[in-house]
Structure 1
Amino acid sequence: MPISQTNQLPQNIRESRLEPLNFSVFHPKVLKPDTKPRALTFLYEEKDALRTFGVPKNVLFDFRLYQRPLSIVRDVTISTVDRLQTASGRSSASSRFVLEGASGSGKSYTLVQAVEYCYRSDWIVIYIPRAIKLVDSSTPYTYNTRTQTYIQYDAAFQILQRLLTVNRERIEGLTLESTAAYEHLKGLKAGMTLTSLIEMGLKDKTVVMDILAVVMEELGKQKSRPVLLAVDDFQALYQSSQYRDPNYQIIKSYHLSIPRLILEYASSKRQFARGAVVGAISTANPTYPLPLELSEALQITPPTPTGPWSKRSPTYIGYAAGLQPLHVPEQLQLSEAAVLFEVWMKHKTLHTDATDQLFLSKYTEASGNPRQFVHTGLLQTLET
């Protein structure tokens, strides 16, 4: 046999690619109160919210396990969507939710579903998937005497740029009615569109944080569309940052420009006329555990023993006031786990026969926990 032929793979191996899987697309039209657990794919196209803003690292890792990014619609998905539907017609002051639950329960996934739901429902969407990056001293900062905060120019630039990319068509008709409150900014004129305002900020980093604050304020005034502010790693904003001042003293998160802005919307000191603020607590990074002030506001058990003499910050208590907990169950229901198991069967990634016994054993080993069911359950079948 010629050498050119011996170095070639057999025809049947070269053509053994997986057939494209046909899952329905995640869309508000398919999310009904009586929707049963099912797998839905995210379009994840260029300029989409999830593609532009990004997703948490653990969610991104899971997306790469499948042919297309997908998630399982659970009961908590429907309850979150119901709250967002109600929030679309009222002030964000009464729609401030925090997704909480055990480690690996799916809080970040539920927030991703909330973002996708709002984006497909023509909301104006602002999503910060990794809020820890705002307080871990990974971006430059400069003290501003006027605002008495530390300005994070690079982080503000990224948020503003992504906000414009995702929402350009939705904010094109919005304009500045008055510039009286923004006299410190030169070049602003009444009637200026928000898109041109954002583009002005993207050209000059020295004013980008001011422009971001103005844009958020104007989005809060308009009533043509609801606005979603979604933040993962939410608990990281309620504790000291990794930044240091010139005297090497630790900087509180609320002295940083972007965390301060987010906290003011979370506490309803700033509001959207229509919309919601939704956070998700992350337990992946032990450097940023759930702080006492936030756990007490949400009426959930703190991670460490506390008592009446435990130190509390009045400032953080104020920023946490009025937040409503939205519990994400620690366990998948059997019907939800069965859907996830079926996804792996269709992808033909199980190196063990897909039997009821295998399903129940992996579900039991993980105690129904979504992350454990996948990472230490189904993924173990790939080990040789």
Structure 2
Amino acid sequence: MLPLSSCCRHATRSLLAFSDSNAACVGLPALNTQVRNYAKARPGVVKPSSHGFSKAQKKGKGGELEDTDQAAATKRKRYTAFLPMPVAQLTHPLFETDQRNSQLQLQSFHPEILTEAVISQALAFPQNDKDPSRIFGLPRNLLVEYRILSKPCSVIRGVTIDVINRLDLASQEGSTNHRLVIAGSPGCGKSVLLLQALQYCYMRDWIVLYFPRAISLVNSTTSYAYDPRTQTYAQPVFAYQTLQRLLTVNGPRLEQLRTQAGVEVERRGTVPAGASLADLVKVGTKEQVLAPTVLTAVLSELGKQTAFPVLLAIDDFQAIYCKTKYRDPHYSRIQPYHLSMPRLLLEYASGLKQFARGAVVGALSGTDTTFKLPLELAEVLSLPPTSPSGPYAKRVPELQSYAKGLSRVSVPDALAVSEATELFDVWTRDRAIPAAPNDELFLAKYSESGGNARDFIWKGLLSTLTL
């Protein structure tokens, strides 16, 4: 008899031989071959040793892993898109004129000079760290235009003076009688007009709240959660960001205002009466969960005070009247008045809630065709409907009540010749047009675009660029 250890070794060799023979019969690799292949290192993979780190990473001062120079360069390349190159790198003779001369010289946008005397004149927007267009953001088309130009600017039109005069009247009255909607053909300058109104109010010592892309409230790009207390879907992330921007832009003015009543906030107890509005905003910026409740309370307090007028500006205004892309547990699309942020804006746009001094101004947009002008809003503003209408067309009663009382501000479809001439001069002086500027080029581009402001720039002037 063989010893037990010899029997085990003999049985193991027999099993391996049997497995190899069976694998060979069916065309598969042998068992022991597979085991050896698993031990091989895969090509292109660097195994870190026990005494250091891999070549792809290095250890920082705090002990964390940092990327190599190549990875850091990739990050810089990704995050610096649309940013201008440093002047020191512009060594080509083409840029010699830009190095010797300063930026585009324009008169600054200021409330005191906004009269009929500056119609058809380009004014440069102020640039600082707390500028509302910098903190709240801009619509995409305007953002790209201002990246191309050396400084953001706009041409003052007759409708600009009309809106400013109405805002001056609203600064002494409640927002219920001053709920304006800027309408017009696509590309006529509605967003620019809303931005001009925003800058005017901010420089007139108003408290401003600006939503440059209201579509982001309804296109299911931020988190949401059902709130059984209000029976709506809260959007804490967007409310949190709104509070941060509101405090950054209007911080000194909010410091001067006091709460007129105690505000109950979950988990934080009650904010006592007499606390500054800035402190109330900071409560919502400490926890995202509390942000929707705090934002509602802050706007309610702003509606009661009379020290500062309040402007609520909303671009893509029609989006908050459209059925959203958010889904409920039954996978049905949620109505906008069932989401916390659109519902809050609808309450002020409809007059259910108001500011003691101030206005609500919205601008329609046709950039995103998934959020077209709804029938309920089109009928109130006396605009051509974009969907089937008639007595048998379905209408949502809640949206009809939210749209009641809105007033339309019509923007001319085409630029006047004097306005287009000033726009042409601005882009020419900023060297955005490589061709030699002359009357023939101006008239050709003005005729091709039909006077439309957006087409005159993008399909007219910038189409001369060879990229």
Coarse TM-score class (shorter-chain normalised): over 0.9
1:43 is matched with: 126
2:138 is matched with: 55
Residue aligned with 2:369, SS? coil
1:5 is matched with: none
Return structure 1 stretches of 4+ with deviation > 6 angstroms: 8-11
Q: Is 1:328 matched with 2:411? A: yes
Q: CA deviation at 1:242?
A: 0.3
Runs (5+) with no aligned partner, structure 1: 1-7
Cα shift readout 1:186-212 (whole Å, capped 9, x = no counterpart): 231111111111111111222111100
Residue aligned with 2:141, SS? helix
User: Is the contact made by 2:115 and 2:161 (CA closer than 8 Å) also made in structure 1?
Assistant: yes
Change in CA separation of 1:21 and 1:207 when aligned onto 2, cut-off 3 Å: same
1:171 is matched with: 254
Specify which of 97, 105, 123 is matched with residue 16 of structure 1: 97
Q: For 1:87-126, what aligned pairs fall within 5 Å after superposition?
A: 87-126=170-209
d(CA) in 2 for partners of 1:143, 1:102: 38
Q: CA deviation at 1:173?
A: 1.4
d(CA) in 1 for partners of 2:402, 2:93: 62
Q: For 1:25-40, what aligned pairs fall within 5 Å after superposition?
A: 25-40=108-123
User: Is the contact made by 1:153 and 1:205 (CA closer than 8 Å) also made in structure 2?
Assistant: yes
Specify which of 397, 400, 403 is matched with residue 314 of structure 1: 397
Cα shift readout 1:223-258 (whole Å, capped 9, x = no counterpart): 011000000011000011000011111110110001
2:157 is matched with: 74
d(CA) in 1 for partners of 2:421, 2:95: 32
Q: CA deviation at 1:15?
A: 3.0
d(CA) in 2 for partners of 1:132, 1:139: 11
User: Is the contact made by 2:309 and 2:358 (CA closer than 8 Å) also made in structure 1?
Assistant: yes
Specify which of 274, 279, 287 is matched with residue 357 of structure 2: 274
- Which residue identity lines up with residue 125 of structure 2 in the other structure? F
d(CA) in 1 for partners of 2:107, 2:327: 48
User: Is the contact made by 1:124 and 1:170 (CA closer than 8 Å) also made in structure 2?
Assistant: yes
d(CA) in 1 for partners of 2:388, 2:294: 43
- Which residue identity lines up with residue 233 of structure 2 in the other structure? Y
Q: Is 1:186 matched with 2:269? A: yes
Q: Is 1:197 matched with 2:306? A: no
User: Is the contact made by 2:317 and 2:362 (CA closer than 8 Å) also made in structure 1?
Assistant: yes
Q: Is 1:284 matched with 2:367? A: yes
d(CA) in 1 for partners of 2:293, 2:182: 30
Q: CA deviation at 1:305?
A: 4.2
d(CA) in 1 for partners of 2:371, 2:124: 31
User: Is the contact made by 2:374 and 2:387 (CA closer than 8 Å) also made in structure 1?
Assistant: no
Q: CA deviation at 1:12?
A: 5.1
Change in CA separation of 1:141 and 1:220 when aligned onto 2, cut-off 3 Å: same
User: Is the contact made by 2:251 and 2:278 (CA closer than 8 Å) also made in structure 1?
Assistant: yes
TM-score with structure 1 setting the length: 0.95
Change in CA separation of 1:228 and 1:9 when aligned onto 2, cut-off 3 Å: closer
Q: CA deviation at 1:351?
A: 2.1
d(CA) in 2 for partners of 1:9, 1:257: 49
d(CA) in 2 for partners of 1:79, 1:263: 25
d(CA) in 2 for partners of 1:114, 1:182: 34
Q: Is 1:300 matched with 2:300? A: no
Identity across the alignment (%): 47
User: Is the contact made by 1:44 and 1:50 (CA closer than 8 Å) also made in structure 2?
Assistant: no
- Which residue identity lines up with residue 330 of structure 2 in the other structure? N
Q: CA deviation at 1:79?
A: 1.1
Q: CA deviation at 1:341?
A: 0.5
Change in CA separation of 1:15 and 1:357 when aligned onto 2, cut-off 3 Å: closer
Specify which of 410, 427, 431 is matched with residue 344 of structure 1: 427
Q: CA deviation at 1:44?
A: 2.7
- Most deviating of 352-361 and 314-323: 352-361
- Which residue identity lines up with residue 187 of structure 1 in the other structure? T
d(CA) in 2 for partners of 1:140, 1:60: 25
Cα shift readout 1:267-305 (whole Å, capped 9, x = no counterpart): 010000000000000100000000000011111111244
d(CA) in 1 for partners of 2:227, 2:350: 23
d(CA) in 2 for partners of 1:10, 1:131: 42
- Which residue identity lines up with residue 17 of structure 1 in the other structure? D
d(CA) in 2 for partners of 1:23, 1:45: 17
- Which residue identity lines up with residue 271 of structure 2 in the other structure? L
Cα shift readout 1:337-363 (whole Å, capped 9, x = no counterpart): 000000112112222221111111110
Runs (5+) with no aligned partner, structure 2: 1-88
Q: CA deviation at 1:10?
A: 7.6
Residue aligned with 1:97, SS? strand
Q: CA deviation at 1:46?
A: 0.8
User: Is the contact made by 2:110 and 2:200 (CA closer than 8 Å) also made in structure 1?
Assistant: yes
Residue aligned with 1:250, SS? coil
d(CA) in 1 for partners of 2:174, 2:134: 28
Change in CA separation of 1:183 and 1:120 when aligned onto 2, cut-off 3 Å: closer
